[in-house]
Structure 1
Amino acid sequence: MFVPKRFDLIIFDWDGTLVNTIDWIVHCLQDAAVRCRFEVPEDQAAKDVIGLSIDNAVRQLFPEADKDSRNTFIEHYGKAFFAKQLSRADLFKGVFDMLNVLRASGYRLAVATGKGRKGLQKALMQTGTEHLFDITRCADETASKPAPVMLQEIIDRLEIPAERALMVGDSIHDLQMARNAGIVSAAVACGAHSPELLRQYDPLFNLAQTSQLLEFI
């Protein structure tokens, strides 16, 4: 029996959803705080800003820091983060195969991330995944999550209605962005936020690992 697809487009967050980098980002945020002599954020406080643009993340972590101090922090963070060389092995288990299956099945694929363009392009190249995505959007070229702008830009560019798109993410910022854009979401519990917290944003699917998406669509 033929069952029509519910979605034409699947949009993924990057860090914590496709690639296992949450602990590294936390380390880099904490390292930059030490170098700037800021109060070092606890692990969960650092995780809570992952997915936001780096500028918004720093403002949330250090609301009293002035512009020059924030810029210095961002510089230290960038140096620490880019010291790590990613590879395909840093993708979560089953993700590379999942992306290939989705492409072969006719889905359009996209990335909507709080990363900057430089960081995402480097990560796509290092993991060998750039060719799998139709379009990618980054926080330094549009509005940061949870604003819906990057999702709206993706669906407009691909000419796919919101009701035919699915957003997959590991943070409340991803799910809030999807809600704000009128797009349903799938939550994955392998990243920044707990399943209990993610469920508060009414995702259509709750996944332990991103590769389990194939079982639901």
Structure 2
Amino acid sequence: MTFKMVVFDWDGTILDSTGAITRAIRHACTEAGLPDPGAEIASYVIGLGLTDALRHAAPGASEQQVAKLVDSYRQHYLSNDHELELFSGVVPLLKALNDLGVICTVATGKSRQGLNRAMAHSNTAPYFMSSRCADECHSKPHPQMLFELLAEFDLEPEHALMVGDTTHDLNMAQAAGVKAVSVQTGAHPPHLLNQVPHYKSFLSINEMSPWLIDHIQQARSV
């Protein structure tokens, strides 16, 4: 069955932002007088809602400290987020999917304000028909984001494909009954991604694009 909707994660999948997010989390923790979680833990939590991510990165933090971590993280990340770039091949893929009439959407751990800002900086908003953010839904891996996007377009789970770079994306897709593919460009390395059963894994969007377009075209010709 052909995919009528492709749901993209944002950070590490669409935008090359993993390094910037990791650094911002680590800086926020040390500024608050909390232990530096290190690059591995700081990158692992990417994709979760910001508050959940910071709670995982700083497990001993009080609620008051978490609130300060959120503010500090935003100051660090927003100071240079306008310099971040889309991964190679993202825009050509979105254009090709739009031309095929495929619904492109986003399910992200970013806030609504953060996603709107990122889309504005990258000039990508016109390619997406809808999106869900962590301050509107349960954080990944809860399937609410996917359930709402499916309902919005009156689609069954088998009509959608999730594209993400973390196990949070893959577990969300699994919980929603949606097929998923991973790209190895973000927060979770292949050995972690492979711990969650999913359809296929690709080195990058560029590697995935011809497969996805061909898959959709072949399914329509049957």
Deviation at 1:60, TM superposition (A): 1.1
Q: Percent identity?
A: 34
3-state secondary structure, aligned to 2:82: coil
For 1:141 and 1:148, the matched residues in 2 are separated by 13
- Listed one character per residue, the Cα deviations across residues 163-206 of structure 1 (whole Å, up to 9, x for unaligned) are 01000000000000000000010011010111122122122111
- Structure 1 residues 39-118: aligned runs within 5 Å: 39-86=35-82, 90-118=85-113
For 2:81 and 2:57, the matched residues in 1 are separated by 26
Match 1:171 to one of 166, 175, 190: 166
For 1:133 and 1:93, the matched residues in 2 are separated by 18
Unaligned runs of 5+ in 2: 213-222
Q: Where has structure 1 moved over 3 Å in runs of 4 or more?
A: none
- Structure 1 residues 114-125: aligned runs within 5 Å: 114-125=109-120
Deviation at 1:160, TM superposition (A): 1.2
Q: TM-score, normalised by structure 2?
A: 0.92
**Count of aligned pairs between the two proteins:** 212
Unaligned runs of 5+ in 1: none
Give the aligned partner of residue 148 of structure 2.
Answer: 153
CA RMSD after TM alignment? 1.2
Alignment pair present for 1:27 and 2:23: yes
Deviation at 1:12, TM superposition (A): 0.3
- Listed one character per residue, the Cα deviations across residues 134-169 of structure 1 (whole Å, up to 9, x for unaligned) are 101000011000000011001101111110100000
Deviation at 1:91, TM superposition (A): 0.3
Q: TM-score, normalised by structure 1?
A: 0.95
Task: Tell me if structure 2 keeps the 8 A contact 1:169–1:188.
Answer: yes
